[in-house]
Chain A
Amino acid sequence: MEIPVLECRNLSISYYTRQGEVPAVVDFNLRLMPGEAHGIVGESGCGKSTVALAIMNYMGRNGAIVGGEILFEGRDMRTMSAEELRQIRGAKIAMVYQEPMASLNPSMKIAEQLAEVPMYHEGIGEAEALRRAEKMLVQVRLPDPQRIMNSYPHQISGGQQQRVVIAMALLSNPRLLLLDEPTTALDVTVEAGIVDLIKEIARTTGTSLIYISHNLGLILETCTRLTVMYSGEAVESGDIHAVFDEMRHPYTRGLFNSIPLPGADKNSRPLVAIRGQLPLPHARPAGCYFAPRCDHFAAGVCDHRPLPMRAVAEGASHAVRCARFAEIDWAAATLPHTPREKVLAGELVLSVEELTKHYTVESSGAFLVGARRTVKANEQISFAAREAETVAIVGESGCGKSTFAKVLMGLEDATSGRVQLGDLDLANLPVQSRNERTIARLQMIFQNPFDTLNPSHTVGAQISRVIRKFGVERDPEKVEARLNQLLDIIKLPREFAHRRPRQLSGGQKQRIGIARAFAGDPKVVIADEPVSALDVSVQAAVTGLLMDIQRDNRTTLLFISHDLSVVRYLADRVVVMYLGRIMEKGSTEEIFAPPYHPYTEALLAAVPIADTSVRKRRIVLSGEIPSPSNPPKGCPFNTRCLYMMAGTCDAIPPPQREFAAGHVIACHLPRETLLAMEPVISIAPA
């Protein structure tokens, strides 16, 4: 019989903190055969990274394996000496982390860092090591490996850095490769390239993979088996198709219900969030850890232990940790949801006409003064938004969406163009010159929940400040009444007014951010990736809340995002941006169906979808997003476009082609070619 590369048996890991022993992982089992790719999926705090660190036997001073064993090629890693572990780490087990920049030494050239690996582990000479390093860079499909070898990490882009890290991990020909959220810090189209590479490694090298991610779609693309973790324990594991199509744990189903799959719709099939919150490690319930949030909880069954993993059927590898999985009617309609009426858009609220924002950067060297460059952050942006409508602005980093938000909010002046809010042109009206009513009508929700609230002030003080500042209420009692009303709207207890941000979870902070934006009764709210930093189940709740408030107030929402799944779910109209220009705009249905702009097409293909019945056309863009300070001539997308026509696309800015009222594609391709495009996503009949 073949020996598994890695086997975890009843593994339990604890951290010792000032509050005493905190169990981080409880009773974790995993069997990884050679060449297999195993996914571990779960939300933050579920212990998935702890498992990876335990496998590397690298838990820091206050962590320890308190039970079970980890067998690497049949040998228990706990009995190995420090020297043996050192031999194995990096040579037989390699790891790729989330932040590529943090994994590379900023003061060493790529060549030196790469050559170090085989020189240390195999004792080969430098020339041989360098030769091998370069070969590996070719293998991870980095263009121009010579140049990369002679660069420092900061001189190459994030996607290239992650490829270098993967190359470094593969250099010693490891038996096991651990990938901890390897693409989370990257843009979607870049991520697609890395995922492609990881799939290829799994197929060609025979290395076993453990892929840790919060993204079910990525796991589906890369792995053959997966384990779903919740609050420190595995709740479901098995073959990827078994788990995706016949999930047998309420938490897994909750997860799938809270991610926007192609079938979801904000009106007819809204997302269903998992209620409640992840329990803190020292406050877990006595029985099933998921019990307080579970719809199938039964007293007497679910509230005591032991609760082992049980095979779904005799002999099946699909196992769940649920006492009632056999009793639950899994065929019944997933979860009750209430369809809602479609909101009709009202009159025109915001119109942006030919908005252009250029920055002048003085690149002054030591003696050279005055070398001026222009960064074209926004170029001729035009679109309109109606009352109660959601307009999504989609784009990856450097597409100019943040600059656009700043111009709109009055933190930057526009170079030219108009931004019409009601009968007021805001393009060159800085926020200090706007009157309070105008400021209150245009508010913003920020991306990072850990940054959106001032850590020094209580939640109540921060919201009250907005209420007073915008003159909604002045009287202290009325301010408090309004504050309580807002807390009720965002479904947080009123006591939270006295809390400080550090006492709140990410999702709760983001709710407060929403309350703050809506405190002054705004007409237009700009939401800059409001849910992208949140966990999946929390995302659904926050998105739902945002839409409810929008619906009640008939607010116009400008939703900035890179995540097309979320955009498809909640936007009415979409604007796709790339390097400061609009590539395509139209209604959501028009954007998600052909004809596409080639960039939209690639973006759609890049988004991982956690649904086994969805078939996607495979489109992987080469290269990286060019720097906005030095954009390509002609069409900004020409360097990566699969339809690039030399002589046209790289010389002349693309024409605006209108396909339907309001559906505009900026592309040189002939109408017929665009119209003849096939859909990227199709749902195969089950």
Chain B
Amino acid sequence: MAGFLAPFRQPRRIVGVMLLMWVPLTLYVMFGDGLGGARFYVLMPAIPATLLLYVLAITSWRESPVALIGATLVFFWLLVAVLVPYLPLVDPNKPMAPFAVIGAVRNDHLFVLGADFKGRDMLARTLWGCQRVLVWGVSATMVAYVVGCLLGLIAGYLSGWWDQGISFVSNVLLSFPVMVLFILILNYLGPSGFNIVIAVTFASAPAIMRIVRGITLDMKSRDYIYAAQTRGEHPLRIMVFELLPNARGPIIVDACLRLGYTTVAITTLTFLGLGLQPPDPDWGLMIKESAKVAMLFKFSYMLLAPALCVSSLVLGFNLMADGLREMSLRD
């Protein structure tokens, strides 16, 4: 087993496998309609990639049970996201039996998790729902990281006016309550997935910038940075190739945590009607739609299922962050 995995442990290959998982998933969710007939096949290469990543993760994080549990939760949802088109599920948007409770059988169909007020199968909706949350949450976090890291590197490495300017803008942005900032931006830009990415970037990038700036300030007086300067390297090259790789430890841990926050934020925004639009299933949307009906205890399952899913995913990200931090401190 270990021998079989060894070739995939090189950082470059791991990134390759990650892309193999991520690109199809993103294409499927973001540009699914444009793919036409190819849509059905797009996710196929992502399935083995996801499985391989999971095996890599659990074999290399064996020393931290916390990280293992976290990774298992996260990869459960990733697997569902890539597998869901091939599962024997009914159409999640098809109204079948309104208010069918958990375990009810209507029209020869077993409603394992019941049906919502429009009669759509909750199981199918819940499983399909993870796709949008995952794809938009991770994309938004990644964009926020690219922007935040770049700003942090510039502020920390070039310092002076660059630092003062970037830090000032960040401080202004950070002084807004996050939700208020989200609502302001999405009200101005209009609700859509891409605008969520922009909103999350505005809200998260300043905090990321601060972390990266701090690490940069600490590292830029190291001898290897002087060595790069004395051989006349371009500042951009020093920032990206000499400084950034050494900041990866804290960045990865923070990214896991932030993925959790972003998941919550996107769900909340959708709940507020500012995020992803119906009819496609989405956990936040499901909570929003069933919020009124679920006042009755009998129908609370309509709320509970998506809420538990969100919690499990967020918990997964957080536990992973904890485990990674624990492991990074141990060495």
Binding site for B on A (CB under 8 A): 409-411, 431-432, 434, 436, 439-440, 443-444, 446-448, 451-457, 466, 469-470, 513, 516, 520
Contact = CB atoms under 8 A, between A and B. Distances in A.
Contacts of B224: 451-454
Main secondary structure of the interface of B (DSSP, over half): helix
Contact of A454 (B229, B242, B248): B242
Given A451-B222, A455-B246, A457-B245, A446 B227 contact: yes
Contacts of A448: 223
B62 interface: no
Interface in B230-247: 230-233, 241-242, 245-246
A410 B230 contact: yes
Interface residues of B, number: 16
A470 B231 contact: yes
14 contacts: A409-B229, A409-B230, A411-B230, A431-B229, A444-B226, A444-B230, A446-B223, A448-B223, A454-B228, A454-B245, A456-B246, A457-B241, A457-B245, A513-B227
Contacts of A455: 246
A447 B242 CA distance: 19
Nearest to B233: A469
Nearest to A434: B232
A321 to B, nearest CB: 34
B291 to A, nearest CB: 48
Contacts of B227: 444, 446, 452, 513, 516
Contact of A456 (B226, B228, B229, B245): B245
Nearest to B248: A456
A624 B197 CA distance: 58
A448 to B, nearest CB: 6
A182 to B, nearest CB: 26
A444 B229 CA distance: 11
B222 to A, nearest CB: 5
Interface of B: 222-224, 226-233, 241-242, 245-246, 248
Contact of B226 (A411, A432, A436, A439): A411
A469 B246 CA distance: 22
Given A411-B226, A452-B224, A454-B242, A466 B231 contact: yes
B246 A454 contact: yes
B223 A439 contact: no
Nearest to A455: B246
A513 B242 CA distance: 16
A457 B227 CA distance: 14
Given A410-B230, A446-B226, A454-B224, 11 more contacts: A411-B230, A434-B232, A440-B231, A444-B226, A447-B223, A451-B222, A451-B223, A453-B224, A454-B246, A456-B245, A466-B231
A409 B227 CA distance: 10
A411 B229 contact: yes
Contacts of B228: 454
A12 B48 CA distance: 53
B208 to A, nearest CB: 19
A452 B226 CA distance: 9
A431 B223 contact: no
In terms of DSSP, what is the predominant structure of the interface of chain A?
loop
B245 A439 contact: no
A431 B229 CA distance: 8
A298 B232 CA distance: 53
Contacts of A444: 226-227, 230
Nearest 4 pairs of A and B residues by beta carbon: A456-B245, A446-B223, A451-B223, A454-B224
Contacts of A411: 226, 229-230
Contacts of B245: 454, 456-457
Contacts of B230: 409-411, 431, 439, 443-444
Which residue among B232, B241, B246 has the maximum number of chain A CB atoms within 10 Å of its CB? Answer: B232
A641 B64 CA distance: 60
Nearest to B330: A18
Contacts of A451: 222-224
A516 B223 CA distance: 13
A267 to B, nearest CB: 31
Nearest to B225: A454
Contacts of A410: 230
Nearest to A446: B223
Contacts of B229: 409, 411, 431
* Chain B CB within 10 A, most for which of A434, A447, A469, A520: A469
Nearest to A439: B232
Nearest to B245: A456
A452 B245 CA distance: 16
A443 B227 CA distance: 9
A245 to B, nearest CB: 40
A432 B236 CA distance: 13
Contacts of A431: 229-230, 232
A500 B187 CA distance: 50
- Of B226, B233, B242, chain A has the most CB atoms within 10 Å of the CB of B226
Indicate the member of B223, B226, B228, B245 with the most A CB atoms within 10 Å: B223
A439 B229 CA distance: 10
Contacts of B222: 451
Interface centre among A440, A447, A457, A520 (most CB of B within 10 A): A457
A444 B233 CA distance: 15
Contacts of A447: 223
Contacts of A457: 241, 245
A455 B248 CA distance: 12
Contacts of B248: 456
Nearest to A438: B232
A567 to B, nearest CB: 21
A557 B224 CA distance: 20
A661 to B, nearest CB: 33
A452 B223 contact: yes
B287 to A, nearest CB: 43
A419 to B, nearest CB: 14
Nearest to A409: B230
Contact of B231 (A439, A446, A454, A456): A439
B111 to A, nearest CB: 51
A436 B232 contact: yes
A440 B231 CA distance: 7
A619 B101 CA distance: 94
Contacts of A439: 230-232
Contacts of B246: 454-456
Nearest to A516: B227
Nearest to B241: A457
Contacts of A520: 231
Contacts of A470: 231
Nearest to A402: B226
A524 to B, nearest CB: 12
Contacts of B226: 409, 411, 444, 446
Nearest to B222: A451
A452 B223 CA distance: 5
A410 B229 CA distance: 9
B231 A469 contact: yes
Nearest to A440: B231
A551 to B, nearest CB: 24
A110 to B, nearest CB: 29
A505 B223 CA distance: 17
A516 B233 CA distance: 14
A468 to B, nearest CB: 11
Contacts of A456: 245-246, 248
B51 to A, nearest CB: 29
A484 B15 CA distance: 29
Instruction: Pick from B222, B227, B228, B246 the residue with the most CB of A within 10 Å.
Output: B227
A432 B223 contact: no
A432 B231 CA distance: 9
B329 to A, nearest CB: 14
A326 to B, nearest CB: 46
Report which residue of A443, A456, A470 has the largest number of chain B beta carbons within 10 angstroms of its beta carbon: A456
Contacts of A409: 226, 229-230
B176 to A, nearest CB: 28
Contacts of B223: 446-448, 451-452
Contacts of B241: 457
